[in-house]
Amino acid sequence: MDMFLPKRALFEREALDYAVGQQVYYKMQQLGVETLFIGSHNRVTGIPGKTPQEAFFESKRTLVVGVRRSLDFQTCKPSAHYQLPLVTGCMGECEYCYLNTTLGKKPYIRIYVNIDEILKRAGEYISERKPEVTIFEGAATSDPLPVEPYTGALKKAIEFFGSTRNGLFRFVTKFTNVESLLDAAHCGRTTIRFSINNQFIIKNFEHRTPSAQERISAAAKVAGAGYPLGFIIGPIFHYPGWRQDYEEMLERLGTELNAAAGCSVSFELITHRFTRRAKTNILEVFPRTKLPMDEKQRVFKYGQFGYGKYIYPKEKMDEMKNFFDEKIREIFPQSKILYFV
């Protein structure tokens, strides 16, 4: 469930010039994974799939290993200053995921082997902005944790930022294989966030991901290791029984985390929304989806990037916001709610 076991692994030849590339290659050989060489990680051929559905699921089982040539980082506002490009893509098959739109018809999982070069560049960005603190997001277009057993990139990044004075790191995951990170010298400079939802939503829409309880247990381990801890609750759905399902989830979270005394917790709350393009893509891959995407039940709102989204009407948004404000403050009185959208 947690470690990504690909059906095929596609390597740039230059990736084997790096220790991480060699490490991943030999691991794929040991596991009996089909390994092939490609010209570029940006122009990947060889992933089968005649229909959008086939292409999607075959891509989700494909690992691409390459060298990141551009060391210019994308910005990542408003949550961080820059993306830290260690991984692209995710092995999860969540029906609503925005990566299903942004990563195209074949959203394969890609890892970069020149981790030291990427972290050196991060150090340069930090130096340029001194004495300001520079924040880096490690999961803007990925869930990096399932490939961590192959690369060790997250642990290396955590310890790199632990050694800086002006850099902070953060990433979010739905997965639970956190053991290799628990003894990292993080020095409180990395925030690990878990994307969680109630079990009804996970079961229906978040395929090939751990259960709510497994994620909560992993979060307790991270809190016990002294990391700053955060939760993204999202997407939040309004449906018959939503209050009870989310209340049970929050109470279970509170029970487990109270055992990990002294941890600081932040929450990011994101309601379900969709674009017309996303709806089209979702229906191509998940034609029987039960995602609530009836445009008549939503309000159309233009976003900051020039396209519109269908969001819940104001009365439902207010109802959900008030519920989460009240419950989170009751169960986690020391926590921060960073935003509700």
Strands (DSSP E) contained in 113-162 are: 134-137
Measured between alpha carbons, how far is 136 from 80 in angstroms, rounded to an integer?
Answer: 6
Closest of 287, 338, 53 to residue 172, by C-alpha: 338
Walk along the chain (341 residues) and give the pLDDT tens digit of each residue. 578 999 999 999 999 999 999 999 999 999 999 999 998 887 788 899 989 899 999 999 999 999 999 999 999 988 899 999 999 999 999 999 977 777 777 899 999 999 999 999 999 999 999 999 999 999 999 999 999 999 999 999 999 999 999 999 999 999 999 999 999 999 999 999 999 999 999 999 999 999 999 999 999 999 999 999 999 999 999 999 999 999 999 999 999 987 555 567 999 999 999 999 899 999 999 999 999 999 999 999 986 666 789 999 999 999 999 999 999 999 998 899 999 99
Judge residue 280's burial from the number of C-beta atoms within 10 Å of its C-beta, 0-12 exposed, 13-18 middle, 19 or more buried.
exposed
Contact 55, 106 (CB under 8 A): yes
| Token duo for residue 325 | 């404000």
What pLDDT is stored for residue 44 in this prediction?
A: 87
Instruction: Compute the residue count for the chain.
Output: 341
Evaluate if pTM is beyond 0.85.
yes
Measured between alpha carbons, how far is 231 from 337 in angstroms, rounded to an integer?
Answer: 10
Q: Angle at the Cα of 253 (from 247 to 256), degrees rounded to 5?
A: 140
